[in-house]
Structure 1
């Protein structure tokens, strides 16, 4: 009789446990959230911004390995994640040898994390960006004859292929949506693509071997160059470089805080974010803020009072008070977080 009761109790706990897990998996994300994509564990950690802790994990293992960078659609309803078969924590130069690796994109419902559709690419890709009008999804294949793929954002149907140049990386848009920009890593140029005509319009001269581009909320396009430790700033109206930053660190993702009029730059491979102030019409380094190991991606809250920094090798997200420029806490997430977006 005692053994029978023990077995019944065990079965009851198992049923309750399974039920709880199902409830967690189906729970809607009805709270202000940060979505953090983890390349090492093939997951998205969903952080409750009120409680400052992970409330939900979205599993991507069945969809692909090494998910890379994450975007939120302009209407806040969809998430896009690149699905390269390449581990970007390795040296990016190894991409030249990874000729057998494929790419891909998965689009998820931002409300519950469920898959809406998935598309495959023949080559590794860095990200998949929604157009500002919410109608299209753009992603570049990183090969010596790189191509830009344009998909219908609602269905995933391919609409266009645009030829680019050697080794394109991240895709970003100007605020008005007239141009998509991409760095051509094996050159001294970034490329401005006319989004209406779906064709390359101008090769913009920058420092040699640009590693990425970032569309920053001040309206400019920032060109990250880890090789020379510089940043070129491009005016999307004139399609010309109008400023250059010489750094003593390798730049990573870049963000602008309008309230403080500060430019924040992740110090790639380090546990710091540098912030700059505007002096004599130039960005001047003011100081650095301690983060976790390998500050990789950064986003400001809507009120710009808090910064969230994904630390790729620290497996955490640092929470920073922007007024005091002090870290308040680290939130553990999955392995190798490489991208973060906020939905408030």
Structure 2
């Protein structure tokens, strides 16, 4: 969205990350009924909660209160959970766990305030005797969190504390690893063992990395570097950087399209770059005329859907021999952001951040069927089939 909301003072000469793990055997303020139905998990940023929607009834059946998850015998978690701003959510391949990234910062109005803050940080360091070039040294840095929950019960399984905000945490396709990025001027991707949560690797990428995603075949990892205007490509096995691709201005995510392509949404560039994940070559650029929230391909309909948060719409593009053509739009809610299609491609769910709702859309008709009230500032969404 429009401005990076990175207000913390950054420390680049200190150790770039610490990890704190806790194993929990308790539930916070949630009901005890298991999620034994096809469900959509909606992350509510300002409410610090997850709304679980039954896809058959389109009603919220369960609410998980992340702010009040407690550690069995260890008191509450070690961060002010009233202010964690949970963001994006991913499901493990075996569908048993969900990973929620909590940057501790509200990104609902944009991601790129980080550039201004990094400049302020350098000035602050220089004033206090630090170097104004290269890595700046300060004593404050915002911590982010990754929360691992049991997808059926809602129990907290693990809490990881990071020395830096993180946009998302994604499981590797084999479920053995958990990948995330530290949103810092000297960006890092960190890789955990998804069972022991031991740190396995740290990989240097571009400035202010946001979303970390896998290619369709799982062989490569794509990292959107917001301040570098680039995407870093990493070999998922060797953990080596194999390419850096220049993109539009302020990319947020490179989203896999289930067709070998990655769809990169550039917020300030107001464009979508399409990258062939096999060759790492950019094949198309679509200029939108609005700031994108997310770009998602419907593989059944062979369409690309892009959320338009400022105008409360979803725009649809279709691919032909002559390139991409605008193929209609759907009126949804204010602050439209994340898009998730059902597995048959017939319906999609859209989070509306500034309405506290989720739109249910008929894909073929390009029409909103209803709105579901959830928490405040809903953002990430993932669909799980039982």
Task: Normalising by structure 1, report the TM-score.
Answer: 0.90
Is 1:248 matched up with 2:289? yes
> 1:216 touches 1:254 (CA, 8 Å); kept in 2?
no
Q: Once the 2 structures are TM-superposed, how far is the Cα of residue 91 of structure 1 from its aligned partner?
A: 4.2
Q: Once the 2 structures are TM-superposed, how far is the Cα of residue 133 of structure 1 from its aligned partner?
A: 1.2
Is 1:323 matched up with 2:364? yes
Matches within 5 A, 1:144-155: 144-155=185-196
- Residue in structure 2 matched with residue 3 of structure 1 by the alignment: none
CA distance in 2 between partners of 1:136 and 1:274 (Å): 34
Matches within 5 A, 1:194-343: 194-343=235-384
The answer for unaligned runs of 5 or more in structure 1 is: 1-21
- Residue in structure 2 matched with residue 59 of structure 1 by the alignment: 65
Structure 1 runs of 4+ aligned residues shifted over 4 Å read: none
- Residues 252-285 of structure 1: CA distance to partner in whole angstroms, max 9, x if unpaired? 2122222222111111333100011122251211
- Residues 53-83 of structure 1: CA distance to partner in whole angstroms, max 9, x if unpaired? 1000011114541001111111111100001
- Residue in structure 2 matched with residue 88 of structure 1 by the alignment: 107
> 1:273 touches 1:295 (CA, 8 Å); kept in 2?
yes
Against the structure 1 CA distance between its residues 207 and 91, is the aligned structure 2 distance closer, same or farther, given a 3 Å change threshold? closer
Q: Once the 2 structures are TM-superposed, how far is the Cα of residue 204 of structure 1 from its aligned partner?
A: 1.0
The count of aligned residue pairs is: 324
> 2:141 touches 2:163 (CA, 8 Å); kept in 1?
no
The answer for unaligned runs of 5 or more in structure 2 is: 1-27, 69-76, 119-139
Against the structure 1 CA distance between its residues 76 and 89, is the aligned structure 2 distance closer, same or farther, given a 3 Å change threshold? same
- Residue in structure 1 matched with residue 95 of structure 2 by the alignment: 76
Q: Once the 2 structures are TM-superposed, how far is the Cα of residue 35 of structure 1 from its aligned partner?
A: 0.2
> 2:30 touches 2:154 (CA, 8 Å); kept in 1?
no
Matches within 5 A, 1:174-189: 174-189=215-230
Q: Please give the root-mean-square deviation of Cα atoms over the aligned residues, in Å.
A: 1.8
> 2:112 touches 2:226 (CA, 8 Å); kept in 1?
no
| Residue in structure 2 matching 1:191, options 227, 232, 236 | 232
Against the structure 1 CA distance between its residues 24 and 224, is the aligned structure 2 distance closer, same or farther, given a 3 Å change threshold? closer
CA distance in 1 between partners of 2:150 and 2:33 (Å): 12
CA distance in 1 between partners of 2:374 and 2:48 (Å): 12
> 1:39 touches 1:336 (CA, 8 Å); kept in 2?
yes
Higher relative contact order (CA 8 A, sep 6+): 2
Task: Normalising by structure 2, report the TM-score.
Answer: 0.81
Q: Once the 2 structures are TM-superposed, how far is the Cα of residue 23 of structure 1 from its aligned partner?
A: 11
